[in-house]
Amino acid sequence: MSVQKIGILTSGGDCGGLNAVIKGVAKTCHFFQIEAYIIPNGYAGLYNLCDLTELPLLSLERLDRFPVYRAGSEAGNSRVKISKIAAHHKYERIQEGLRKFNLDALVIAGGDDTGSVAVDLTEKGISCVHAPKTMDLDLMTYSVGGDSTINLIADFAKSLYTTGETHNRIIILEVFGRYAGHTAFRGGIASDADIILIPEVHADFDIVYEHSKKTLMRRIHASDNHSGVVMAIIAEGLKDSSGSELVDENSPTDSFGHRPLIGAGAYSAKQLEMRLRSDLEMQNFMKETGQFVEGIHEFPEVRQIRPTHLVRCGKTTAMDVNFGMEIGSASVHLIRKGVFGVTVCSYQKGKIAYMECKQAIQQRYVDPADIAAYEAMGVCFGRKSQTLIELQHQESKKETQEKLQSPIFPDPIFMEQKNTPWRPY
């Protein structure tokens, strides 16, 4: 198809790699002499497009104003679900805005909620390509932002070891991850965490407490200055032993139907403190190691930290810069070929892999086999360790090695074996 102008918008939460997507789109547009425009403020901006007088044109000079390695989004975000807008002619209004600025197609970067709106727009005749973005990594493909967030989580945890060890504390670091615990899992492993609690495993705090207690006592006993720390990384979507999500039932839902979470870190800290207060063995240990002060310091402190949006900001890792620019560029190629309603999976070796957006936005969870592997190495996930009776193994053939992208993130080629549709460009 003949393409003259493309609009770019980002939606949902911001994270590392979004600016790389924007630059990947815009610079590829320059190569093909296509004009690339920012649609500010996500789907809110798209809905109000017809009321705007101008859009930012991403000229080379304008692209110089934000570096590719900076997190956040130059296009701005909002959490708006188009189908929830009460106005009867909302889709006609969007079409009117696109016609006003002569935009031939949209590149939309976002996660599963954003992708669901892209599916909706496609079904209403609006030409869209979805660039996967979610630091939670809970889409069917790798999503820009995941690696940047994992590295930030690991860096925060590594920095907290010093203050934790100074005060002999149990440190709880609560991070994002409402439905899937990929970033808590991988960030925890990268920072040598003792405990990792994720939504996929219903936490038994008796098990968590015993692991915390034994680990802290062992470290302090082994230290000539009676110093030790326990590090726990906990995803915000932690479920209790009954499998219930920790949400504020009195708060209204957002446009995507989500209620605010009440704080997995604070909940976990209270669970551990309750057990510490009633544990006579821990009190005797505090006395043996010269820490006990009656009425003032009778048990170890539990401190919970929530970096919240600090894991979304700052710098984008090299992996996310590369992936972001590649899927941004691939989006332009797909638009030029008239391929819409799809999510870009990868752009490697001269081939673009993509899949139907409806399939891409399905939830992807941490594999239990991966958890069991680290339980065998002594990491606590809030359950009784699963016995690894026999691991599957096979020789890695050359053709398999060429397909394999990462041991952490799935490759779209392997998705074919799971009956998930994808197509090479």
Active-site residues, by number, are 136
Rounded to an integer, what distance in angstroms lies between the CA atom of residue 27 and that of residue 24? 6
How big is the chain, counted in residues?
425
CA angle centred on 92, ends 87 and 97, rounded to 5°:
105
Q: Which residues fall within 8 angstroms of residue 204, CB to CB, at 6 or more apart?
A: 241, 382, 383, 384
Neighbours of 282 (CB within 10 A): 20
Rounded to an integer, what distance in angstroms lies between the CA atom of residue 343 and that of residue 413? 14
CA angle centred on 254, ends 365 and 141, rounded to 5°:
25
Residues 331 and 107: beta-carbon distance below 8 Å: yes
Looking at the DSSP bridge assignments, the partners of residue 106 are 7, 128
Q: What is the 3-state secondary structure (H, E, C) of 344-375?
A: EEEEECCEEEEEEHHHHCCCCCCCHHHHHHHH
Rounded to an integer, what distance in angstroms lies between the CA atom of residue 228 and that of residue 302? 13
Q: Which structure tokens are listed for 122?
A: 């496609």
Rounded to an integer, what distance in angstroms lies between the CA atom of residue 118 and that of residue 115? 5
Per the rule left: phi > 0, alpha: psi between -120 and 50, beta: everything else, 350 is left
The maximal CA–CA distance of the chain, rounded, in angstroms, is: 79
Tracing tokens 């496609």 back to the chain, one arrives at: 122
The closest of 248, 212, 199 to 379, measured between CA atoms, is 212
